[in-house]
C-alpha cells in the first residue's frame, strides 16, 4: 500500500450481537483506496456494504483488523481522534437526517460548522454555492417539510460536500433522485476527485454511477468476492 492512500484496510472482521446471538457480518476484508478515486460497493441486501462503510467512516468501532484512514489507525483509536477525523469526512446516508426546523441553507451550513472558522456571510455563500450545484438555488429558504424526497436528498448531498471533505462516504445517495439530479451528484463527486483529490466510497446499484466508478467491489456474505481494480 502506498502511504498516500487515504484508506487501507487489512484483515477486517466484524460481529454483531453477543453470546448465542453473536454473528459475524464482515470476514477478512482487505483493500486500499487511492486518493481522488470513486470506489463503489455492490452486493445483495445483507452482504455487509453498510457495515463496511460505517467501519471505514469512524461511525462504528473497529473490533478486529486494521483500518487506516487518512494516516491514522482506527482500531483502538481514542474518541478524540475519531471526532477530529470525522470532521474531514462527508457522509451521505439513506436517512438524510435534515433538521426539520432549519431551512435548506441552514441545514447545509450545519455541514460547515464543524469544519472551519468562516464568517456567517462566507458560510452562507458556501452553502448557496453547493445548493446551486445540486439544483436547489431557488429553494434556499425552504424547510424540509416543503421539499420533495429527492430535494431533501440533494440538501443532504450539499451538506456533505460543503466542507470540502477529504473522503466522502455515501450509502445509495442517488436512490431518491431523478435522472438529472443523480447525474449532477456523480459529476460533482468526479470533479471533486480530479480537482481536490476527494476520495469517495459509495454503496450504489445505480448503473449511471457504476459506469463512472474507478473501481467496483462486490461483497457477498460479508466477503469481497470481486474487485475490478
Ligand X SMILES: Nc1ncnc2c1ncn2[C@@H]1O[C@H](COP(=O)(O)OP(=O)(O)OP(=O)(O)O)[C@@H](O)[C@H]1O
Return residues touching ligand X (CB under 6 A).
16-17, 25, 43, 45-51
Cβ closer to ligand X: 46 or 71? 46
Closest distance to ligand X from the beta carbon of 45 (Å) = 3
Closest distance to ligand X from the beta carbon of 47 (Å) = 4
Alpha helices in the chain (DSSP H): 49-56, 79-86, 104-113, 120-133, 149-161, 179-196, 207-210
Per CB under 5 A, 198 contacts Mg ion: no
* Chosen residue from 50, 151, 153, 174 binding Mg ion by CB under 5 A: 50
Here the cell at position 30 is 482487505
Q: How far apart are CA 24 and CA 112, in angstroms?
A: 36
Burial (CB < 10 A; 0-12, 13-18, 19+), residue 2, is: exposed
Q: How far apart are CA 191 and CA 54, in angstroms?
A: 24
Among Mg ion, ligand X, none, the one that 71 touches (CB under a kind-dependent 5 to 8 A) is none
Cβ closer to ligand X: 47 or 153? 47
Cβ closer to ligand X: 45 or 207? 45
Binding interface with Mg ion (CB under 5 A): 50
Amino acid at each position: 500500500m502506498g502511504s498516500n492512500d487515504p484508506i487501507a484496510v487489512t484483515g477486517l472482521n466484524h460481529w454483531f450481537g453477543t453470546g448465542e446471538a453473536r454473528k459475524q457480518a464482515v470476514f477478512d476484508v482487505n483493500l486500499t483506496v487511492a486518493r481522488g478515486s470513486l470506489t463503489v460497493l455492490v452486493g445483495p441486501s445483507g452482504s455487509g456494504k453498510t457495515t463496511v462503510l460505517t467501519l471505514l467512516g469512524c461511525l462504528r468501532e473497529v473490533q478486529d483488523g486494521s483500518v487506516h484512514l487518512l494516516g491514522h489507525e482506527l482500531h483502538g483509536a481514542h474518541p478524540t481522534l475519531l471526532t477530529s477525523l470525522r470532521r474531514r469526512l462527508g457522509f451521505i446516508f439513506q436517512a438524510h437526517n435534515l433538521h426539520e426546523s432549519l431551512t435548506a441553507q441552514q441545514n447545509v451550513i450545519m455541514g460547515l460548522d464543524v469544519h472551519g472558522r468562516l464568517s456567517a456571510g462566507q458560510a452562507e455563500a458556501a452553502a448557496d454555492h453547493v445548493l446551486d450545484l445540486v439544483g436547489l438555488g431557488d429553494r434556499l429558504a425552504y424547510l424540509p417539510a416543503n421539499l420533495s424526497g429527492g430535494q431533501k436528498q440533494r440538501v443532504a448531498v450539499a451538506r456533505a460536500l460543503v466542507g470540502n471533505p477529504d473522503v466522502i462516504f455515501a450509502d445509495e445517495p442517488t436512490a431518491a433522485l431523478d435522472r438529472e439530479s443523480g447525474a449532477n451528484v456523480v459529476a460533482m463527486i468526479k470533479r471533486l476527485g480530479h480537482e481536490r483529490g476527494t476520495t469517495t466510497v459509495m454503496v450504489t446499484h445505480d448503473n449511471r454511477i457504476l459506469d463512472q466508478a474507478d473501481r467496483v467491489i462486490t461483497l457477498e456474505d460479508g466477503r469481497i468476492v470481486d474487485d475490478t481494480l
